Amino acid sequence: MDGILSELQALNIGKVKSNELLSQHTTIKIGGPADLFIEPSSVENLKKVMDVIRQNNIQWRAIGRGSNLLVSDKGIEGAVIKLGSGIDNLEINGAEITVGGGYSLVSLSTFISKKGLSGLEFASGIPGSVGGAVYMNAGAHGSDISKILTKAHVLFADGTMEWLSNQEMEFSYRTSVLQKKRPGIVIEAVFRLEEGDRTAIVSQMQKNKDYRKETQPWNYPCAGSIFRNPLPNYAGKLIEIAGLKGFSIGGAKISEMHGNFIVNAGNATAGDVLALIQYVKDTIYNLYEIKMETEVEIIGRK
């Protein structure tokens, strides 16, 4: 990897590091080293990165702000590409906005609400990037990205760039076409919002933020919701009824505030979290014969 590291650094495409600990880039503060860690400073430089990755047949993975991720203690083979500054443009055209994949979703929803645009209130407490939110169809409070996205500009591994319509994104519950069928990086998204009463929109945003503070453990490092809701049931409620809130393995603990959150209560490892996830799965299945599926993405070396 040293030769590829030198090649990328010579291109002056942004930050390039080797063996960067992913615990510094995930909201749960867990994760071993990435062989290569790259933060491109622009879309053009991101394309250059992908060219080098393709030419050298390197495995790669894109991340945004590191939420909804559990990275192996052994780290990630290949390259990790983080989208942030330089890929965080924002353009407002009436009720339509175009925003870069590296833009913070929380910051976007706050800024847009003050402009009197409605549609992003649900995102006021989702600590991810726009690109990550589109990738996983992030949602809360009865809404999600699929309700507002018009199209997404995606860079694919072969170097091609394509605008995918809402329909082509094949959205479903916390899922899009990019997760399995067509892996790619969301570099830009176009959202169709609605003009509304600024005071009412800001008020609803604040209510959503307050609700999250009251019900979710954001004072601890965590990855967000661990399990998908096995509808018509809710994961957090099932875990609570099973008496598992507060249960811990190593440094990983099921939140006492919300059953569907596992927090890093102190030097937790990915192994601790995985063991706790399996314990919950086994317990819920034994009690209710319900199979729990993870919403958090589990990535990295086995």
Task: Please report which helix (H) or strand (E) contains residue 68, including its range.
Answer: none
Q: Which amino acid is at 96?
A: E
Pairwise CA distance, residues 105 & 165, whole Å: 20
pLDDT of residue 141: 85
pLDDT of residue 61: 92
pLDDT of residue 126: 87
Q: Which residues contact 220 (CB under 8 A, 6 or more apart)?
A: 255, 263, 264, 265
- Concerning whether 96 is annotated as a catalytic residue, the answer is no
Q: Is 48 left (phi over 0), alpha (psi -120 to 50) or beta?
A: alpha
* ∠ CA 261-264-265, rounded to 5°: 110
Domain 90-200 has CATH 3.30.465.10: yes
Q: Residue 235 corresponds to which tokens in the numbers above?
A: 């994961």
Question: Over the stretch 39-76, which tens digit does the pLDDT of each residue have?
Answer: 999 999 999 999 999 999 999 999 988 999 999 999 99
- Could you list the pLDDT tens digit for every one of the 302 residues in the chain? 778 999 999 999 999 999 999 999 999 999 999 999 999 999 999 999 999 999 999 999 999 889 999 999 999 999 999 998 899 999 999 999 999 999 999 999 999 999 999 999 999 888 889 999 999 999 988 899 999 999 999 999 888 999 999 999 999 988 999 988 899 999 999 999 999 999 999 999 888 888 888 888 888 999 999 999 999 999 999 999 999 999 999 999 999 999 999 999 999 999 999 999 999 999 999 999 999 999 999 999 98
Q: Residue 295 corresponds to which tokens in the numbers above?
A: 């919403």
pTM above the 0.85 mark? yes
Q: Is the sign of the CA dihedral 115, 121, 124, 129 positive or negative?
A: negative
Q: Which of 174, 188, 255, 297 is catalytic?
A: 174
pLDDT of residue 214: 87
- Concerning whether 61 is annotated as a catalytic residue, the answer is no
- Concerning whether 225 is annotated as a catalytic residue, the answer is yes
Q: Which of 121, 188, 295, 297 is catalytic?
A: 295
Task: Please report which helix (H) or strand (E) contains residue 240, including its range.
Answer: helix 235-241
Question: Over the stretch 149-168, which tens digit does the pLDDT of each residue have?
Answer: 999 999 998 889 999 999 99
Q: Residue 238 corresponds to which tokens in the numbers above?
A: 């099932």
Helix axes 43-55, 2-10, angle to 10 degrees: 150
Helix (H, G, I), strand (E, B) or coil at 295: coil
Q: Which of 188, 225, 255, 297 is catalytic?
A: 225
**pLDDT, mean over the chain:** 94
pLDDT of residue 140: 87
Domain at 2-82, CATH class: alpha beta
Q: Is 239 left (phi over 0), alpha (psi -120 to 50) or beta?
A: alpha
Domain at 219-299, CATH class: alpha beta
| Domain spans of the chain, in order of start | 2-82, 90-200, 219-299
- Judge whether 261 and 255 are in contact, CB under 8 Å: yes
Largest CA distance in the chain: 57
Q: Residue 281 corresponds to which tokens in the numbers above?
A: 């799965």
- CA dihedral of residues 212, 213, 214, 217 (deg, nearest 10): 90
